[in-house]
A and B are shown apart, each in its own frame.
Chain A
């Protein structure tokens, strides 16, 4: 358990100080937020830790009709925040209540989850489904959709940049999140976050994402296209379930097999769509 490799610990006062320490250490430095992942890993590589929890990035606020969450805000702080609880019918709380357990949620930050980007994680799937964007400060300032970052080599970026804020856009509709694990406290064997907007009795827009496939959460654009313009009805959910079961890319790992994942992905998408549509109609 001893992290003998760590020689220095810095409590950064602002983003500039965190960045200059990060560049001074080169490969030997790491940003520390909740520490849930960083301090769980094997000791070794990290020589200098830069604690960024005191650099003013822990807040939640409304932003252009959506929500802006500071990167070091803990999952508990988000769960307790009225603006976050109200965002798109409470979807963030629905997801975060299923992440780990209360003491870990007291520690884990949204920025840490975004950067760790566990393929089995609940948060990456939700970020992609909700069209979240991340802002960062490095040599330059940057902003990009999380979905786009996850398609590229984003880990290199955050070795020399601080994620500062996660932006959630407004949605005129509702989302629902479904997760299957072996036990309530366990990580997902498969998860899905889906959203719909209903206008004049038909689906105006749809978002369908599946994660822990075992690869990280991704949208299924062909499933979304198949929903748009359709009247929500029992037979539509059946068609989408069949479509997902036919086309979703899944694989085996030691936790679950591809055959089970393929079948269950269709079921989870269907359940999430039915619940999202019910919520959107309220």
Chain B
């Protein structure tokens, strides 16, 4: 079936299988930041933003994004030109193996879009559905708070 949607601000017109998971469609389109950890909604590695809200792409089908705006990490920044939020993760030592990082960055992005002065508890709540086997979370929370500070200082583009 035909669907149209917007991926990282670029319009897409595609023919998809009705049962195609959004996660696998995005990876086929080259969005390799979107990871499959569990495939059952538990880990958060497959997080993307749909119309500005973080969702589990493993629990969505491609046709559900008809007419919507999808944002993956690729739409946020690049290796050469990282988004300030990505830079905050690197500067804070919040990245180890990196498998959880795209999902963490996107749930943090959703939070900071609505609240650029969150408390530690609010950050912990926002990332509570994203599992990290490496960092112990403390540095991830530090990174989000640093990015929030940069946002308040007008250092986000």
Contact = CB atoms under 8 A, between A and B. Distances in A.
Nearest to A11: B66
Interface string A23-67: 000000000100110011001000001010000000000000000
Interface residues of B, number: 30
B119 interface: no
A7 B20 CA distance: 10
Contacts of A102: 54, 107, 110, 125-126, 128-129
A5 B107 contact: no
Nearest to A97: B125
A49 B44 CA distance: 24
Interface string A1-12: 111111111010
A3 B19 CA distance: 5
Contacts of B56: 36, 103-104, 107
A9 B128 contact: no
Contacts of A185: 128-129
Contacts of B110: 102
Contact of A6 (B18, B23, B60, B107): B18
Contacts of A3: 19, 21, 61
Contact of B129 (A5, A49, A76, A103): A103
Interface residues of A, number: 28
Nearest to B63: A9
Contacts, number: 82
Nearest to B103: A103
B106 to A, nearest CB: 9
Contacts of B47: 103
B118 interface: no
A155 interface: no
Contacts of A49: 18, 61
Interface stretch (B34-42, B74-82, B87-95, B137-145): B34-42
A230 interface: no
Contacts of B66: 11
A107 B129 contact: no
Interface in A213-245: none
B111 to A, nearest CB: 8
A39 B125 CA distance: 25
Interface in A100-141: 100-104, 106-107
Contacts of A32: 64
B24 interface: yes
A184 interface: yes
A237 B47 CA distance: 44
Contacts of B53: 76, 103, 106
Given A1-B21, A49-B18, A103-B47, A11 B59 contact: no
Contact of B18 (A7, A76, A106): A7
Given A2-B19, A9-B61, 4 more contacts: A1-B23, A2-B24, A9-B19, A102-B107
Question: Sorted from nearest, which 5 A-B pairs have the closest CB atoms?
Answer: A101-B129, A6-B19, A9-B18, A3-B19, A9-B63
8 contacts: A2-B20, A4-B19, A9-B61, A9-B63, A36-B59, A49-B61, A102-B54, A107-B56
